């Protein structure tokens, strides 16, 4: 389990099974058979986390990894995305 904490006082806001965005990594298998390293991209308007990989053969693969979670701290009112 991974914890999301308030940046001001360090209080725990939530626990999730998914790692934070900074720790997410992915390798996507291209239809040509090679594994291409992907990068994590967030779609801000819909809150979807995407993995985008470009293979050496020229194909670009996009797959959905998960959903973006936004938490608002009760004390400092800051919104933290996780």
- DSSP string over 2-70: EEEE-TTT--EEEEESSPPGGG--EEEE-TTS-EEEEEEEEETTTTEEEEEEE-TTS-EEEEEEEE--E
Quote the pLDDT of residue 8.
Answer: 87
Q: Name residues whose C-beta falls within 8 Å of residue 79's C-beta, 6 or more positions apart in sequence.
A: 70, 71, 72, 73
Rounded Cα gap, residues 70 and 79, in angstroms: 6
Quote the pLDDT of residue 42.
Answer: 84
Tell me the residue length of the chain: 82
pTM above 0.75, yes or no: no
pLDDT in 10s for each residue of the chain, 82 residues: 888 888 888 888 888 887 777 777 788 888 888 888 888 888 767 788 888 988 888 889 888 888 888 888 888 888 888 7
Quote the pLDDT of residue 34.
Answer: 86
């Amino acid at each position: 389990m991974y914890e999301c904490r308030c940046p001001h006082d360090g209080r725990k806001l939530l626990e999730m099974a998914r790692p934070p965005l900074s720790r997410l990594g992915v390798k996507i298998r291209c239809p040509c058979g090679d594994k291409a390293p992907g990068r994590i991209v967030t779609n801000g308007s819909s809150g979807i986390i995407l993995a985008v990989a470009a293979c050496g053969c020229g194909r670009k693969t996009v797959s959905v990894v998960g959903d973006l979670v936004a938490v608002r701290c009760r004390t400092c009112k800051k919104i933290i995305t996780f």
